[in-house]
Amino acid sequence: MEEEVQLSIRAQEAKEGDSRGFANESNQPTSPQTRKFTLWVRIGVFSFFVLSGQAVATLLGRLYYERGGQSKWMATLVQLAGFPILLPYYFITTKRYKAKTKTNNITTSTATNSIQSKKPPTLIVISVYLVLGLIVAADCYLYSVGLMYLPVSTYSIICASQLAFNAFFSFFINSQKFTPYIINSLVLLTISSVLLVFEPDSEESSKVSKGKYALGFVCTVGASAGYGLVLSLTEFFMNKVLKKESFSVVMDVVVFQSLVATVAILVGLFASSEWSTLKEEMNEFELGKVSYVMTLSWIAIAWQVFFIGIMGLILEISSLFSNVISVFGSPIVPVMAVFFFHEKMDGIKAMALVLAIWGFVSYAYQNYLDDYSSKNDNLIRNGQSNASPHREKEVNG
């Protein structure tokens, strides 16, 4: 009986892998070098999805406003309404997981059921999805207002503050530890955002009044804070409520919170009566009706590419690392905006970019130190575990 339980535990561990979704080394026939190379290839692909999706969606979002789009609710809706394109991938991974579970549980179903953890209450899970979805809806609306009233370059640099907010909320929610490098990163990213307030030609470059520019600035900072809060709450939800980190669970969170957010945004769209002006807006779009539809469609697709990259990085590394990659992409949009929208890259904006990049490098270096320390700890543990049988033999001898 004890042997059956041990076999079932090994099968369960091989099926689930470690807390980041990786399979156990005993279940992998490839060498450590090959696994490491494959891991970094996946990280590179997901990072490319984050950087490209974020840049394309932001630029197209600004194009929508530049060429006649005026509906903030529509600009908000397209950030989340494209989530159904994620469902095929979600169902494929679920099907594979079920098939794998069936194979592993042919002879050990009774013992395996005894070691499976209890599922969280359905009411609690639904409540969390509702809360996360409503926060995401409000967050995306604030982003839309900010993008409407700010130049793309200014908007992107302010969004870099989301990393500071993420670390701040993680300190209280997830007991995130602060190191000198993280503190340095928070200070630099905060200064890079606040520095834009003193930009002399901010109102002229954004073609809006000083009051609307200030509103866009406040909304973008608020949206960045909301994004950091959502990431921290999501991490807490997965670790403390679901108590499991796998790609299927992450997809559950994204799909269901996006569904709630989309419904909330649709309510706002119809309640604000902006829906009645969408036909006229499409007819008056400077690039034509087809371009209007294609612009909104590609915005929705680009954001889903971004979310796939974010989810992949969360699976492979962590939510904080995915946020770091997102912030690192902030200098890409201002550079592209200079070519596409002919925006000026003055001294203050360039200084803010340098500080943002410096802040990212500082945060990334801290992640490198943590990873290096974790590898050393694992080597020490493995060395002790390999040495323990010999010690037992010596004692028994």
Higher pLDDT, 264 or 239: 264
Residue 5 predicted with pLDDT over 90: no
Q: Indicate whether 14 belongs to any domain.
A: no
Structural domains in the chain (count): 1
Q: What is the pTM of this model?
A: 0.72
What lies within 8 Å, CB to CB, of 80 at 6+ separation is: 136, 137, 140, 258, 261, 262, 265, 303
Amino acid 200: pLDDT? 57
pLDDT band, very low/low/confident/very high, at 354 (cuts 50, 70, 90): confident
Q: Indicate whether 380 belongs to any domain.
A: no
Amino acid 26: pLDDT? 41
Q: Indicate whether 393 belongs to any domain.
A: no
Distance (Å, rounded) from C-alpha 39 to C-alpha 44?
9
Angle (CA) 12-14-17 rounded to 5° is 100
Q: Indicate whether 46 belongs to any domain.
A: yes
Q: Which residue type does 187 have?
A: V
- The torsion angle over the Cα atoms of residues 156, 160, 166 and 168, rounded to 10 degrees, is -130
Tokens of 8: 């079932």
Residue 157 · residue 356 · CB < 8 Å: yes
Q: Indicate whether 320 belongs to any domain.
A: yes
Q: Indicate whether 303 belongs to any domain.
A: yes
CA-nearest of 222, 252, 227, 259 to 237 is 252
Kindly state the average pLDDT of the residues 346-360: 76
Higher pLDDT, 260 or 379: 260
**Structural domain harbouring 312:** 33-96+122-371
Distance (Å, rounded) from C-alpha 110 to C-alpha 165?
46
**Tell me: the pLDDT tens digits for 82-137?**
888 878 876 786 666 566 655 655 444 444 443 445 677 888 889 988 998 999 89
For the chain, the distance separating the N- and C-terminal CA atoms, rounded to the nearest angstrom, is 29
Distance (Å, rounded) from C-alpha 235 to C-alpha 319?
7
Amino acid 16: pLDDT? 45
CA-nearest of 355, 17, 40, 333 to 187 is 355
Q: Indicate whether 251 belongs to any domain.
A: yes
Q: Indicate whether 9 belongs to any domain.
A: no
Instruction: Please spell the DSSP secondary structure of 82-97, one letter per residue.
Output: TGGGGHHHHHHHHHHH
Q: Helical H runs in the chain?
A: 2-16, 32-66, 72-77, 87-104, 109-115, 122-149, 152-159, 162-173, 180-194, 202-206, 210-236, 247-271, 278-284, 289-316, 319-328, 332-340, 347-396
